Amino acid sequence: MTKRVVFSVLLVVVLALSASVVAQETTIDEPMITPVVCEEPGDLTMWVWDETWAEVIGNSIEVWTEKYCEGATVDLIQQPWGNYWDLLRTNAAGGDLPDVFNMSQTFVGFYADNDVLLNLQPYWDDAGIDTTMWGTGMVNPYRFGEDGDLHAGPVNWDTVAVLYNKEMLEAAGLEEPTSDWTWDDFAMYTEALTDEEAGVFGSAVYMQFQTGYANWIAATGESPAVAPERAGCTLTSDESLEALNYLHGLYDAGYMPSVSVMGGSSADDAFALFASENVAMITAGSWKMPDAIEQLTFDWDIVQLPRHPETGRSRSVLHAVGYVAAANTSQPDLAANLITFLVSDEAQMFFAEAGGVAPANPNPVLQATWAEAFADSGKNVQAFIDATEDSQGVTGFGEIWNVINAELVINIFDLDIPVEDAAAMACDEIDRTIAELAE
């Protein structure tokens, strides 16, 4: 009887321990950012634009209110991307911004220039956080003021890589590309994979700024579209023209579809064509992985962008969404405390395990967890991680977004305007806008 009781107790203990291991998320022994308890709880509002992130962030906030700020509440609202920026500007004009909200590197300039954002640097300093840990590409667009104070906490990072249809490659007798492949290899693959009779294009890799031509310009060593410090337009430089002409050559030869064929100038239009097996290779951001895994019905994989034949560089535009707080929030300390928690290893683990965009926190355990989240898919997501090594930060900004994101693309890859002329037209608009903003 005693033995049976002991055995039963041991079994229960073992089971309980096993259950706790199963239920417990991956733990981090050496966190890079340790959250601090808030001084006084309160009520906050928070806006995000992505539905998936809203769920992840919601889970993080639950932990924050349980462990680090008991009694605090956060009204988390997901505003659809299409309305987000108009709503944000309208609310900013009305002095009614949410306390904490997501920010993009593309649009942060307007808010920073108008002192709408809370300076988080004092809070980073108080918490002993070395903001250089995130890397310049992630945080530099969020640094303002003479001292380069960091006004945002990076949420996640995303890079761009090439998605390819393995079945089409196999049918064309091509081996799967590796990270060493070059522009010349890419051109050869694109040509070989094009089947005019079947209406299949070899690739579609130029559309939009972030997922398209900017990456190819970056590989030449040039800053895409705009020089650092907004010194001027770079699209008419030799390097930019080289990249644009390279892509245009593939399009002109009929190996890439026009914008009209794709039905739009966005990367999502190229993805739709890829999903329908009308194009063999596209560029896509890491944020697209959940959709790709869910929707693509054929065998596919991921490889880094090809290397420039002379510089040998494969570069991806790297973008990091940020958590920011409103300068006029009634609870600056609380808002900063929430942001500090959200960028901590503990909160970022939710992003890592969700398998969507990668967490910005550079802890290797987090990055490995994120990659592991895709393990079942069998896809080479490591290509996205490797792309961060020599990445290019976002250089475009809101006021010129239509020009660099759509108009340039359509002029070259739909209206057949010569590359040099299209680049010159874009530069006229960009330089005019830069001059207007400087006034």
Partner 1 sequence: MMTAVLNLLGTTPRARRRALWGIALILPNTIGLFVFFGIPVLMSFNTSLQEWNGIRPAVYIGLDNFERLASDTRFWNALSNTLQLLLMIVPLEMLLALGVALLLNQQRLKGRAVFRTIYFLPVVTSTVAASVVWAWIFQPRFGLLDMFIAPLGFTDIRWMTSPDLVLVPIAAVAIWQRLGFDMVLFLAGLQSIPGVLYEAAIIDGANRWQRFRYVTLPMLSPITFLVVVLAIIHGFQIFDQVFIMTARTVPGGVGGSATTLTYLLYDSGFVRSQFGYASAVAVVLFAIILSVTVGQLRLQRYWVYYESGEAQ
Is 260 a binding residue for partner 1 by CB under 8 A? The answer is yes
200 near partner 1, judged by CB under 8 A? no
Stretch that binds partner 1, among 150-158, 185-193, 219-227, 397-405 (CB under 8 A): 397-405
Q: Which stretch binds partner 1 (CB under 8 A): 29-37, 56-64, 352-360, 406-414?
A: 406-414
CA 238 to CA 232: how far, in whole Å?
A: 15
Which of 402, 418, 420, 435 contacts partner 1 by CB under 8 A?
A: 402
Per CB under 8 A, the segment of 220-228, 252-260, 317-325, 367-375 that binds partner 1 is 252-260
**Would you say the C-alpha torsion 166, 172, 174, 179 has a positive or negative sign?**
negative
SS3 content of the chain, % helix, strand, coil (to 5): 50, 15, 35
Q: By the 8 A CB rule, do 340 and 127 touch?
A: yes
Check residue 116 for interaction with partner 1 (CB under 8 A).
Answer: yes
Q: Is position 389 an interface residue for partner 1 (rule: CB under 8 A)?
A: no
Interaction of residue 266 with partner 1, rule CB under 8 A: yes
Asked if 27 is part of the footprint of partner 1 (rule: CB under 8 A), the reply reads: no
Cα gap 240→219, rounded to integer Å: 10
> Of all helices (H) and strands (E), which one includes residue 149?
strand 149-150
**CB atoms closer than 10 angstroms to residue 210:** 24
Residue 265's alpha-carbon distances to 87, 118, 134, 220, 380, in angstroms, are: 24, 35, 32, 23, 27
* Candidate list 122, 263, 312, 364; residue touching partner 1; CB under 8 A: 263
Binding partner 1 (rule: CB under 8 A), the pick from 390, 414, 424, 431 is 414
Q: Nearest to residue 391, comparing CAs of 203, 133, 138, 204?
A: 138
Q: Using CB under 8 A, which of 133, 174, 410, 424 touches partner 1?
A: 410
Rounded alpha-carbon distances, angstroms, from residue 340 to 3, 257, 392: 51, 45, 26
Map tokens 């977004």 to a residue.
401
Q: How far is CA 256 from CA 84, 247, 248, 435, in A?
A: 32, 9, 9, 35
| Residue 114 touching partner 1 (CB under 8 A) | yes
How many residues touch partner 1 (CB under 8 A)?
27
Q: Is position 361 an interface residue for partner 1 (rule: CB under 8 A)?
A: no
From the CB of residue 24, how many other CB atoms can be counted at a distance below 10 Å? 8
Contact with partner 1 (CB under 8 A) among 110, 166, 230, 386: 110
Buried b (16+ CB within 10 A) or exposed e, 78-106: bbeeeebbebbbebbeeeebbbbbbbbbb
406 is a site residue for partner 1 (CB under 8 A): yes
Binding mask 68-107 for partner 1 (x = CB under 8 A): ------------------x--xx-xx--------------
In the window 273-292, what residues touch partner 1 (CB under 8 A)? none
Residue 164: CB atoms within 10 A of its CB come to 24
Q: Is 160 exposed, middle or buried (0-12, 13-18, 19+ CB in 10 A)?
A: buried
158's CB contacts (< 8 A; 6+ apart) are 285, 286, 287, 318, 319, 320, 357, 358, 384
- The CB-of-132 to partner 1 minimum distance in angstroms stands at 30
Q: Which is nearer to partner 1, 174 or 261 (CB)?
A: 261
Closer residue to partner 1 in complex, CB, 172/425: 425
Q: Which of 415, 418, 421, 435 binds partner 1 (CB under 8 A)?
A: 415
| Closest approach of partner 1 to the CB of residue 412, in Å | 11
- Residue 119 CB, nearest approach to partner 1 (Å): 16
- Residues present in the chain in total: 439
User: Is residue 259 at the binding interface for partner 1, with CB under 8 A as the rule?
Assistant: yes
The answer to the question of residue 254 lying near partner 1 (CB under 8 A) is no
* Binding residues vs partner 1 (CB under 8 A): 86, 89-90, 92-93, 110, 114, 116, 258-261, 263-266, 269, 398-399, 402, 406-407, 410-411, 414-415, 425
